[in-house]
Amino acid sequence: MNSADLLERVRVKLWSTAVGPAIVIWFFGYVLVDIVAFLVNRSAPGMSLVASIPMLVLGVCQTEAIDMLRARMERFRWTVRASLLLLATLSATAVQALFDLYWTRYVALAFFPTWQTWALQITPQRISTAGVLNLWTFCLALTLLWAARASRSAEVNAARAAEAEAAAARAQSAALRLQLNPHFLFNTMNSISSLVALDRKSEAEEMMGRLCDFLRGSLNADPMADVPLCQEIDAIDAYLSIEATRFGERLEIDIDVAPDTVDAAVPSFILQPFVENAIKHGVSLVKGPAHVTVAAVREDRELVLTVTNSASFGDPAVPGHLPSRHSTGIGINNTRERLRNRYGVRGKLVAGPTNDGYRAAIRFPFTTCR
């Protein structure tokens, strides 16, 4: 270990206890004493400070002792704690004041004869002055130590709360994401069952193969990780190819992804519930042709993903089956929660009916996976 590392460890150790702050406070106090001594012509600059080193050490040690006493009394009632701390502080003040007076007297007799004219006079006024100054220093030191510890405790609690909140948000997002696969699986198995019932076995086998490919990619994906938009589009394309087998030429699919967005980072399967809704409400409930469009564009610093379905209605009553502006579908609600957990207020979802279908637009900050 080099000297720099050793000094850093000593610094961290000092400031993790009361020693570091106590040294600063007592040192500052005795610097003021040295300045006053120089201004009244009692000693040369720095001489009083050097002579005060033993008093500084005693003050730091007593401050540390009182702080340790305070820590050990956390389980006591506040009245008991206050009484004991007051008694300890007054006792430390008396010890510090007497030591100051008699240590200065010794230094004057042994090393600085010019100090004897004032240092040897231990009068009630000097005792009270020393007592007040030392009491003030103890109170200042203990108050600042209490404030520093309260601040550190608040920071630790805030960090723990933030970590717990982030963990809860991650868990919630993962749960919301994983709720989509059973929904899709149920719809797809119904489609396969319908194909088998209609004796379209080859198409059912093809759909089963595509379903296996889709689920393989889905189950291997981390539900909490962002993925490149191109990977998300591949998953949507795989899903739509499965549905295209069911609806045939009646389903028209258009995927329009701007070239500058293919590497954009998006929450995995963020589009899936809207594509499912487009099929469920825009294709399966109408008799005529239906059109599903998936688009991605970049607008300034945001990525905008849209899923739109439109259809030619063969029955005037069919539009009433379209999702309303107040849709409470699990996919839409889950997506709103995922956006809130991932982006806060910067993640937005606007969804609602159009003249001939339904449109959902997702907007969140643009970032890349590279």
Which H, E and C letters describe 219-275, residue by residue?
Answer: HHCCCCCEEEHHHHHHHHHHHHHHHHHHHHHHEEEEEEECHHHCCEEEECCCCHHHH
Same domain, 41 and 94: yes
Residue 274 and residue 325 share a domain = yes
- State residue 317's pLDDT score: 37
Are 124 and 207 part of one and the same domain? no
Which of 250, 248, 223 lies closest to 235, judged by CA?
223
How many C-beta atoms lie closer than 10 Å to residue 204's C-beta? 20
Amino acid at residue number 195: L
235 and 319 co-located in one domain: yes
Q: Is residue 337 situated within a structural domain?
A: yes
Give the integer Cα–Cα distance in Å for 322 and 277. 9
Task: Please state, as a whole number, how many other Cβ atoms lie within 10 Å of the Cβ of residue 70.
Answer: 18
Among residues 168, 199, 217, the one where a domain terminates is 168
Beta bridge partners of 358: 309, 353
- The whole-angstrom separation of Cα 18 and Cα 154 is 18
DSSP 293: E
Q: CB–CB of 264/228 below 8 Å?
A: yes
Question: What are 15-68's pLDDT values in tens digits?
Answer: 566 677 888 888 888 898 889 888 888 888 888 888 889 999 999 899 988 888
Question: What is the CATH classification number for the domain harbouring 201?
Answer: 3.30.565.10
pLDDT mean for each 10 residues of the chain (370 residues)? 60 62 86 86 86 90 88 83 90 92 90 85 86 89 80 77 64 52 68 79 80 68 76 85 78 91 89 82 76 93 92 47 45 80 89 86 89
* pLDDT of res. 298: 95
| Residue 317: both structure tokens together | 């009553």
The rounded distance, in Å, linking the Cα atoms of 143 and 136 is: 10
Q: Are residues 65 and 123 in the same domain?
A: yes
Residue 264 has φ and ψ, to the nearest 5°, of -65, 145
Based on the fold, state whether residues 116 and 235 are members of the same structural domain.
no
Question: Is 173 inside any structural domain?
Answer: no
Residue-range definition of the domain harbouring residue 111: 3-168
Number of domains in the chain: 2
For residues 101 and 231, membership in a common domain is answered with no
Q: Are both 198 and 162 inside the same structural domain? A: no
Give me 168's structure tokens: 């809860």
Q: What is the pLDDT of residue 269?
A: 80
DSSP SS3 for 366: coil
